[in-house]
Amino acid sequence: MEKTIFHRILGRELPADIVYEDEQVMAFKDINPKAPTHILFIPKEYIASITDLTPKNAHIPGMLILKAKEFATANKIDGYKLVFHVGRGGGQEVFYLHLHFLSQERLPKGVGDTA
């Protein structure tokens, strides 16, 4: 398996504006944002796509959604959209399962800002 850009971000081989991280998830600003706030939530357990889910890891998309909800609450973001792209035909460009968090509201100053 070839490393994706998300593998490299997780491994700290590439820089990213990380806005959230815990033992299961990392979230960082999208480098090509489609909204004023566009965050990608990725699991630390590699899954290429929704199509690769199994009964053993089927909980991961729900966990990403909960982490995004907690992030929104913590940052006082009331309105947002959550999107999974599935396969090339569904717009998936990076084959590492990820959740797009998009909001017209901007993140509070200091969240994910790099020096």
* pLDDT for position 58: 97
* pLDDT for position 107: 82
- In order of their start, the domains of the chain are 5-103 (3.30.428.10)
Q: pTM for this structure?
A: 0.92
- Would you write out the chain's pLDDT as a tens digit for each of its 115 residues? 689 999 999 999 999 999 999 999 999 999 999 999 999 999 999 999 999 999 999 999 999 999 999 999 999 999 999 999 999 999 999 999 999 999 998 887 767 655 4
* pLDDT for position 70: 96
* pLDDT for position 112: 61
* pLDDT for position 15: 95
Catalytic residue flag (residue 98) = yes
DSSP string, 31-88: SS-SSSEEEEEEESS----GGG--TTTTTHHHHHHHHHHHHHHHTT----EEE---TG
Per annotation, catalytic residue among 38, 59, 98, 100? 98
